[in-house]
Amino acid sequence: MQKIVECVPNFSEGRNREIIEAIAQAVREVPEATLLNVDPGESTNRTVFTFVGTPDSIVEAAFQAAKKGYELIDMTRHSGAHPRMGAVDVVPFVPVANVTMEECVECSRRFARRVGEELGVPVYLYEEAQNREYRKALRDIRSGEYEGIREKIGKKEWTPDFGPAEFVPRSGATVTGARFFLIAYNVNLLGTKNQAHRIALNLRDQGRGPEEPGRLKALKGIGWYLEQYDLAQVSMNLDNYQVTPLHTVYEEVKKDAAELNVAVVGSEIVGLVPLEAILMAADYYIEKENLLITDERAKVRLVVERMGLSSVSPFVPEERIIEYMIRDDRERLVERTVEDFVSAVAARTAAPGGGSVAALVGALGTGLGAMVGWLTYGRRKFEHLDAPLRQVIPALEEARKALTAAVDADTEAFNDYVAAAGMPKKTEEEKKAREAAMQEGLKQATLVPFRTMEIADRAWKPMLEVARLGQYSSRSDVEVGAKALETALYGAWRNVVINLPEVKDKRFREEVAEKAEAMYRQGQEHLKEIQNLLEQRTGDA
């Protein structure tokens, strides 16, 4: 799997479109780096660029963008609402896929070294890349801003990590490091800068100081006024949205604003946002308002509406949610037509094979169960069944999505094993490395259909409820769905069984074999239970 790192550099220029475009073009010209978003702000005079790539390409793209920024931005003439200390103000590297925080730390150090040595700009490390506690936080490094660097940089405790220990008027200084995914988030107020800042002080982790901390952890914030929009904003950085979720911040700002008799008029996300953060907010509003929404796109739309994310500029999910933005050039099996998929199964190749087919059959089975649930839910004659169906339908939808994803996962696991088998084996070291890779590949090729079984196993209870509650006229659909689910279990089980003998880890073999057979036998019993129940039904409940 390809390693993907995100870089989100902030440049101290948000008004000159030619400069912004020149920096963007510098990123575009780096092979294997993909520019995802450019978000300029006139009042802040700052632009946030977002791009992704492999570790090597991301460092090169960050360096080329920074080089262009130092060339075109003159900090002696800069002014803006946002705190800043350099033309290229902060350059964070963020793990996105198949990459560790340590690898991102190394990316930041490579970038810092090149900027310091080749371009002669002072560079400070922060967050995970910085070992000294007193200079881990960006706010501490940037304290005094650009105007204070001249005096600060000469102090021993503030010697840059890379580059010259001297003030460079045109470029200022740059901060770089590695961190968790940060969300830059602003809540709009029809109020004053002072009111916005007062709310920020109430909420941010730092609060008003050690004696009066704020209510929300892993949150930074200030208040400002944007002339271009004629409104104030509580401007915040969510350092860890899993600690303090996006919706929590919005609701807390609303609460404080109400106490000040100030109107909240939506909010905005600056740059990109992880899909997980949006779905967490969706789950909050779905529970709060007792809604039944299972479709991902509908959940995203709910959050956009409830949090007013399009109040300043349109929030287009395809352009703002990072998972929707990252291009995946692989051709996924589930994106093929039915005819193409069947032809691929029938071709003279070992994959896609029984594991992928089993997962697809299971997805179709749970899909039929969900369909019958939806056909029953919300109809006046079945209104008394709405409450239990609100539990059943999401469970079946979740299983359907997971089984659909397993279609490609099974083929990928097989291909990884084949790749391991193709490793060189001339020397003893090569033989050992090949054997280790093959054993790991076998385990994964076993675990993927085993997980397919686990997903299918969890689907039996909601499938049984659909058989009991679903409209009587759709009982044949439930029967087909249940049989498909049992077939998926059988297919996945046989794929587990065929791989296990080659796995040398005895404990792994025995545990997986026992659990897999138990799930299949239970599945047979569940199928009979559903068939008997449907035979006994004489009409709608």
Residues 423 and 426: their CA atoms lie apart, in Å, by 10
Phi and psi at residue 186, to the nearest 5°: -125, 135
Residues 171 and 76: their CA atoms lie apart, in Å, by 8
Tokens at residue 98, please? 């198949």
User: 161, 256, 408, 410: which is the annotated catalytic residue?
Assistant: 410
Is residue 247 part of the annotated active site? The answer reads no
171 touches 75 (CB < 8 A): yes
3-state SS, residue 294: coil
Residues 207 and 201: their CA atoms lie apart, in Å, by 5
Is residue 39 part of the annotated active site? The answer reads no
Please tell me whether the peptide bond between 245 and the residue prior to it is cis, using omega within 30 degrees of 0: no
Residues 481 and 472: their CA atoms lie apart, in Å, by 15
Strand partners, 177: 92, 126
Amino acid residing at 74: D
Between the two ends of the chain, the Cα-to-Cα distance in Å is 50
User: 56, 74, 78, 82: which is the annotated catalytic residue?
Assistant: 82
| Helical H segments across 322-385, by residue range | 322-325, 338-346, 354-376
Residues 2 and 137: their CA atoms lie apart, in Å, by 30
36 touches 51 (CB < 8 A): yes
Count of CB atoms situated within 10 Å of the CB of 125: 23
15 touches 73 (CB < 8 A): no
Residues 471 and 378: their CA atoms lie apart, in Å, by 12
Give the catalytic positions in this structure.
Answer: 82, 410
